[in-house]
Amino acid sequence: MFSRLTQIPKGFVEKVESEIEHLRPAYRKIHDEDFKTIDPATCSALVLPDLCFVGDSAMSAHPQQYYTPTISVEIKVTQGHVKHTQNAHLLNRPKKGFMPAPGSLFKEDSIKGKVCKFCMHKKLKEKEGRWNNSSNYCPLDLFSGGSVRAANYCPLDLFLGDRRRMMHALLSLYGIPQNNFKVFQDGREVFSDTVQEDLTGILHQFFGDSVNGFTNGLQKQHELHTFLDLIVDALLSTPEGAKPSQICHTQSNQATPNSCAHSNGGSEGKGHASSEVKVMNRTKLCSNFCAKSSYPNIDNSQNDGAASVMLSAPESVLGRILCTQQLDDAVDIDGVFPLYQRVKDHLKAHPEDRCKFGVYGPFTKELWLDPCIQGFDTADTDSLEYAVYKVKRFIVSKTMQDCSIMVAMQRCPSCSQSKTADVPPCLTDGHGRKFHYSVSIIDLDPKPFDKLTKYNQLEKNILQAYTEYL
């Protein structure tokens, strides 16, 4: 799918702003500060494919395919891991530059090592009255992976195997979608926090036929589970021809072999003197256990992240998102914030270095992608370059913690079995029915460099709200 840059006429931005005014959520209108409005001086825009559909009608050789009934789902997955407590000790403490009040860091570390950011943040949002109902969703359930599916779907054995936890996450989102879950029918929003049409009825229409003799309520429940099961498949699928992830995770001051879990095009193993070493097993940086997950019977005895998508489907869209989220190298905002302040102070004194470091953009391969792929090849972790490197990786990680996944699917016409270049791939449900599908990641805009100040304050507020709740 392609996007293209186009010029926009004068007055276009104002027209768009007024036309979408009534669609904007109320809370956005209150907190519309900082980076939210479109600059009226904007003179160009990106034309994107509508990802609520499978394929791009403008580019497709089979445009009729674009118009067959399509259901799409948007999931804002958020942060899919918990940092291991021992990493927090190793990485955060030496960089803080001060000793915390006795006992307090231990408490913070211990909370952060057990409860995921999303579940902690819930408490702050409850305190601030952002949502009426508290969500049961825990992103770690969704990122828990698992690739075994039942050959013949049955509601009774639906919850067999590793996929159960992912299904639990999706069912939780269906129960209380908040801003994490939206469903579209032919591009129209039909189910979300604010729009609550009868999703099971819509799915019934979408599936069209009864394949199991169920009727009424049971049939609808069955279709909902079939649908969510297909979403799990899509999230765990690996894009055809996908190259292995090139991201390299690093960790400070640990005697780990200087090699990368994934090939990164030959840069590994150069043997540079470095206290920043690439991590052999990237899953060790984090855990996929959250003490606040509502999923029953999570086995914490094997708490090493081994059940996560990183192992079961590392090249899937979910695996790649998790991998990119871990670019923060297990350093939380409290580890990165002093580095940000150093860079900020330096740029204040030397504004001429803004271009060189590129923390405010441009978002070029050299300035942004390369630092994510490469390790830091110097022993000097006190250097400004190291601080810039760490801050950039953290910022990219934050973008991936806020992105959404769009999954679109439509029934394959029985004739379309051919595998040609512009025919989208297929998923097969437990009854052998085939569905064309696409999986895309949206909302990947870079987080502003100065947003680290907000992250630092937010982290404190989250911890305070969570500690008050305990």
Ligand X SMILES: Nc1ncnc2c1ncn2[C@@H]1O[C@H](COP(=O)(O)OP(=O)(O)OP(=O)(O)O)[C@@H](O)[C@H]1O
Ligand Y SMILES: O=P(O)(O)O[C@@H]1[C@@H](OP(=O)(O)O)[C@H](OP(=O)(O)O)[C@H](O)[C@H](OP(=O)(O)O)[C@H]1OP(=O)(O)O
Provide the binding-site residues for ligand X, judged by CB under 6 A.
48, 50-52, 74, 404, 442-443, 445
Task: Compute the residue count for the chain.
Answer: 470
- Binding pattern to ligand Y, positions 395-414, x when CB under 6 A? ---x---x------------
Can residue 179 be called a binding residue for ligand Y (CB under 6 A)?
Answer: yes
Q: Which burial class, exposed, middle or buried, applies to 346 when counting CB atoms under 10 A from its CB (0-12, 13-18, 19+)?
A: middle
Strands 181-185 and 250-252: unpaired
Chosen from ligand X, ligand Y, none, partner binding at 451 (C-beta under 5 to 8 Å by type): ligand Y
Evaluate whether 269 touches 258 at the Cβ level (below 8 Å): yes
Give residue number: closest CB to ligand X. Answer: 443
Options 279, 447, 452, 459; binder of ligand Y; rule CB under 6 A: 447
Give residue number: closest CB to ligand Y. Answer: 402
- Binding pattern to ligand Y, positions 25-44, x when CB under 6 A? ---x----------------
Torsion of CA 414, 415, 419, 422, to 10 degrees: -100
Chosen from ligand X, ligand Y, none, partner binding at 264 (C-beta under 5 to 8 Å by type): none
Residue 195 CB, shortest distance to ligand X, in Å, is 12
Residue 35 CB, shortest distance to ligand Y, in Å, is 6
Residue 47 CB, shortest distance to ligand X, in Å, is 10
Half-sphere exposure of 131 (CA within 13 A, CB side): 17
Chosen from ligand X, ligand Y, none, partner binding at 404 (C-beta under 5 to 8 Å by type): ligand X
Give me the amino acid identity at 413: P
Residue 391 CB, shortest distance to ligand X, in Å, is 21
Can residue 81 be called a binding residue for ligand Y (CB under 6 A)?
Answer: no
Q: Render 1-60 in DSSP notation, one character per residue.
A: ---EEEE--TTHHHHHHHHHGGGS-HHHHHT--TT-SPPTT--EEEE---TTSSS-TTT-
* Distance separating alpha carbons of residues 270 and 255, to the nearest angstrom: 16
Closest to ligand X by CB, 170 vs 347, is 170
Chosen from ligand X, ligand Y, none, partner binding at 204 (C-beta under 5 to 8 Å by type): none
- Residue 155: cis peptide before it, omega within 30 degrees of 0: no
Of 77, 90, 80, 82, which is closest to residue 250 (Cα–Cα)?
90
Chosen from ligand Y, ligand X, none, partner binding at 447 (C-beta under 5 to 8 Å by type): ligand Y
> Strands, E, within 168-297: which ranges?
181-185, 188-191, 250-252, 276-278, 286-287
Chosen from ligand X, ligand Y, none, partner binding at 74 (C-beta under 5 to 8 Å by type): ligand X
Residue 32 CB, shortest distance to ligand X, in Å, is 11
